[in-house]
Structure 1
Amino acid sequence: MMSYYSGNETGQVPGLLPKPPYYWWEAGAMFGSLIDYWYYTGDTTYNDNVMQAMLFQVGEGVDYEPRNQTSNLGNDDQSFWAMSAMSAAELKFPNPPPNEPQWLALVQAVFNRQASRWDTSTCGGGLRWQAVSINAGYNYKNTIANGPFAAIAARLGAYTQNQTYFDWAERSWDWMSRIGLINEAYQVFDGSEADKLNCSQVDQTQWTYNAGIMLLTAATMWNQTTGDVQAKWGTRVSGLLGANMAFFRNQTIMYEVSCEINFAPSKGICNTDQHSFKAYLSRWYAATTKLAPWTAPTILPLLRSSATAAAAACSGGSDGVTCPSRWWMEWDGEYGVGQQMSALEVIQSNLIQSVAGPVSNTTGGTSQGDPNAGMGVGQIKPPAAITMRDKGGAGALTAIWLVIMLGGSWFMISD
């Protein structure tokens, strides 16, 4: 996996993977895999790379909103960096130097920024996919924007015992259920168009990482509640585990059911992002066994059989050990960061029983927080509601914007 990363080399940008084809968010997810790698193995080989990258990409507002990523800044992109920082706090990854941003405060900054974007103008609530109104996909409200927000809230609640975070996790889950992103059978769907359809129709495509993030949220909330409330979250955990069997071919090997299909001549139709999704389902399945130990008899055999298949499939490329997209067939010729990350996570997740669970600030956690982080100057401002007058002037403003952007493009290239 790290053979694709050059951000630690002289003249390169720490924290970025080659673009194209890799977007900013996948690098944040990759450093989360390296935090997991240290957690499982104790090997510190990559810790300096993780520290350098995650601090370099915090952005001007110290909230994982770097201005040079504005053109593709989704709420989900920001969340993947925040979730890696949350793992650093929970797993007691080494803290940054005192004069640098701290893991917990960074996650709180992202939470505050996203809470400020909760949008009741359409669909009765929810986060839009994109954080900036000019970005394609701004009119879409989807699981991978709202699920990580709910998970971050639940995990912050578990770490700090601040009830406000738990309330937001519950609110987010309820909203997603209400518009049909999570159905009664606990299938988790992709998203819905907000501005024209008011979330009245749902794209029912299912992805492993959407199902995984909702499982992690439910398991965290089960772990932090009691009585009838805990029973409610336990039902959700059980329901998701049942529905998620759709992501295990022959109930054995994890696969991306929506794109790992036979397609002429031999490749699937997953895109660059989707090749990494199994990494997150593996990561969050393993974490769930620590938060809700009663799930282990269901989860651990699936991680084991999937890891066995992945290890056998990692037999391609010029080195003979490159990992493919699909673990249930012979070498398929598809390779990259996502494939390596997915294999790494599913294999190392089998060490989950040999490590301690996540900590909080009362059970050994040392990361320093700031509940007001992300509320200061320097952040990208949440967009105002769009009116018909705004839309009428959009063409002219876009033309002006393009002239400015093209005229200053050499500054952006230099940056």
Structure 2
Amino acid sequence: MLYKRRNKSASSSTGLLRTSISLLLGSSLVNAGLPQLNLDDDNSIKSVASRVAYDMMTYYTGNRTGDVPGNLPQPYYWWEAGAMMGTLIDYYYYTGDGSYNDLVVQGMLHQMGPNKDFMTPNQTKTTGNDDQGFWGMAAMSAAEQKFPDPPGTDNPGWLELAQAVFNTQAYRWDEQYCGGGLRWQVFTFNNGYDYKNTISNGCFFNIASRLAVYTNNQTYADWANKVYDWTAASGFMTPDYHFYDGAHTTLNCSDINKVQWSYNVGVYLLGAANMYNYTNGNDTWKSRVLGMLNGTNLFFYPPDNTVMYEVACEGHGTCNTDNYSFKAYLSRWLAASTKYAPFMRDLVMPKLRASAQAAVSQCTGGDSGTKCGMIWTGNGKYDGSQGVGQQMGVLEIVQGNLIDGSADPATNKSGGTSKGNPGAGGDGSGGNNPILAQDTIKTSDRAGAGILTTIVLLWVIGGLWWMMI
């Protein structure tokens, strides 16, 4: 039995987003199906991506008067809105089309919360570590891909937002049950607080490893190693790199739910590729990357293992709104991983190409005749489903084929411009007391603090001596 996500209520907040989404529509509106996809022509890939992105944004309501910027309507949960923002950030990175940039900036800033850590008060009843993690990973992508910085001097940089998510999640690391790990839910009153799941810990690992590469700060790498080691020790990841869903704290994580979702191996794969990069090609991390890459074969349809499918639900017709989007993230992270671990490239690109062709061939649904379904293995047959998740999946697999010609991810030492703050974020529960790992304090800061302490102490002693005289 699959572990079901909790029911989430719609946001009650109000907001106003005035962003016009414009697109010149061609003959593809009249003729069923997307434009012909030629994977050897970047302009063809961009044309198809543009149409898929447009259809995806027809489901977005944050630009309507009285609706909430950055949010999606029911039945979509808050985390998927963050995932969609990540897809639009990728879209700009791959295509250079900034049509949706203003929408992304406004949505991300609206949802960041009062402590700038994506702990949004109107999502308290629904916030999981995975939910927050998807928003944090979107911010991390914006920093790496040099997405336009938020306007003004009062807004945080993308890097700061990612660091804030890391800090709040490090605060929540729980060794009392199961020897470590993050719980699924943040708050005790939410259904699922007694569950530790792979995706929540995978998001944390993903962000920590990417921060290590971007900032060259060992503290983030130490945390990435800690999360990885715990995932392996807990049994959530097997020795042959299969990733299970999670287990309950009430049973000390002994009741592992062995359902396998594509985004679990994907989120760890990109983290492992970053750790390979951070360690300058360490053989251990290379072995782990190759093991995880081999583990993704489970999610490519046999016998040739080149077209992606969601093995846990597609064949059974049991996929839900969440599951519809999972292939988007595996597609995203497979492509991105090749930048950090280039040896993966020749193993990954054939899968991205075959899956993109298969995905595009079935986008013949909806009134436009271009909406995409979830199933890519039906030889071009549209499965009748449509939604944000389906569009995200096709968009990520298509635009991922532009990875070779895309800029290398930025870091602090290679052109990164995003403003950071290693002490950003709240105390892990939505409070405003930031947590800062001691190792992130520079030596000069410690020296300065010591000098200041000495001065104050001398002043106090001097005052007491004067009073005695």
TM class by shorter chain equals: 0.7 to 0.9
Within 5 Å, give how 1:104-123 maps onto structure 2: 104-123=159-178
Say whether 1:94 aligns with 2:144: no
Q: Which amino acid is 1:90 matched to?
A: E
Aligned to 1:352: 403
Provide the C-alpha distance between the structure 1 equivalents of 2:432 and 2:182, rounded to a whole number of angstroms.
14
Measured after TM superposition, the shift of residue 243 of structure 1 is 1.5
Q: Which amino acid is 1:254 matched to?
A: M
Provide the C-alpha distance between the structure 1 equivalents of 2:374 and 2:137, rounded to a whole number of angstroms.
24
Specify the SS of the correspondent of 1:261: helix
Contact 2:89–2:142, Cα closer than 8 Å, also in 1: yes
Select the structure of larger CA radius of gyration: 2
Say whether 1:24 aligns with 2:78: yes
Contact 2:171–2:427, Cα closer than 8 Å, also in 1: no
Counterpart pick for 1:369 among 395, 402, 420: 420
Counterpart pick for 1:73 among 84, 109, 127: 127
Provide the C-alpha distance between the structure 2 equivalents of 1:377 and 1:41, rounded to a whole number of angstroms.
36
Measured after TM superposition, the shift of residue 201 of structure 1 is 2.7
Say whether 1:62 aligns with 2:111: no
CA deviations 1:90-122 (Å, max 9, x no partner) are 000000122212111111111110000000110
Aligned to 2:368: 319
Counterpart pick for 2:69 among 3, 11, 14: 14
Provide the C-alpha distance between the structure 2 equivalents of 1:350 and 1:89, rounded to a whole number of angstroms.
21
Measured after TM superposition, the shift of residue 378 of structure 1 is 8.7
Provide the C-alpha distance between the structure 1 equivalents of 2:410 and 2:432, rounded to a whole number of angstroms.
33
After TM superposition, where is structure 1 displaced by more than 6 Å over at least 4 residues in a row? none
Provide the C-alpha distance between the structure 1 equivalents of 2:258 and 2:369, rounded to a whole number of angstroms.
38
Measured after TM superposition, the shift of residue 320 of structure 1 is 1.0
Measured after TM superposition, the shift of residue 316 of structure 1 is 1.4
Aligned to 1:236: 288
Provide the C-alpha distance between the structure 1 equivalents of 2:286 and 2:366, rounded to a whole number of angstroms.
43
Change (3 A) 1:381 1:132: farther
Aligned to 2:277: 223
Measured after TM superposition, the shift of residue 54 of structure 1 is 0.2
Provide the C-alpha distance between the structure 2 equivalents of 1:99 and 1:59, rounded to a whole number of angstroms.
14
Aligned to 1:150: 205
Say whether 1:249 aligns with 2:301: yes
Measured after TM superposition, the shift of residue 288 of structure 1 is 0.7
Contact 2:143–2:418, Cα closer than 8 Å, also in 1: yes
Specify the SS of the correspondent of 2:124: helix
Contact 1:277–1:338, Cα closer than 8 Å, also in 2: yes
Counterpart pick for 1:306 among 340, 355, 371: 355
Counterpart pick for 1:336 among 387, 393, 397: 387
Specify the SS of the correspondent of 2:94: helix
Specify the SS of the correspondent of 2:296: helix
CA deviations 1:333-352 (Å, max 9, x no partner) are 11110000101100010000
Change (3 A) 1:10 1:231: same
CA deviations 1:193-221 (Å, max 9, x no partner) are 112x1012311111010010010111000
Q: Which runs of no fewer than 5 residues in structure 2 stay unpaired?
A: 1-55, 434-469
Aligned to 1:259: 313
Q: Which amino acid is 1:235 matched to?
A: S
Measured after TM superposition, the shift of residue 66 of structure 1 is 0.6
Counterpart pick for 1:202 among 256, 261, 264: 256
TM-score scaled by structure 1?
Answer: 0.88
CA deviations 1:37-62 (Å, max 9, x no partner) are 00001001000000000000011121
Contact 1:60–1:378, Cα closer than 8 Å, also in 2: no
Change (3 A) 1:378 1:126: closer
Measured after TM superposition, the shift of residue 377 of structure 1 is 10
Provide the C-alpha distance between the structure 1 equivalents of 2:417 and 2:150, rounded to a whole number of angstroms.
11
Provide the C-alpha distance between the structure 2 equivalents of 1:8 and 1:364, rounded to a whole number of angstroms.
33
TM-score scaled by structure 2?
Answer: 0.78
Aligned to 1:282: 331
Say whether 1:273 aligns with 2:322: yes
Q: Which amino acid is 1:86 matched to?
A: M
Specify the SS of the correspondent of 1:150: helix
Q: Which amino acid is 2:391 matched to?
A: Q
Say whether 1:38 aligns with 2:89: no
Aligned to 1:413: none
Provide the C-alpha distance between the structure 2 equivalents of 1:246 and 1:110, rounded to a whole number of angstroms.
31
Measured after TM superposition, the shift of residue 174 of structure 1 is 0.2
Q: Which runs of no fewer than 5 residues in structure 1 stay unpaired?
A: 263-267, 383-415
User: How many pairs are equivalent?
Assistant: 373
Measured after TM superposition, the shift of residue 379 of structure 1 is 2.1
Provide the C-alpha distance between the structure 1 equivalents of 2:388 and 2:274, rounded to a whole number of angstroms.
29
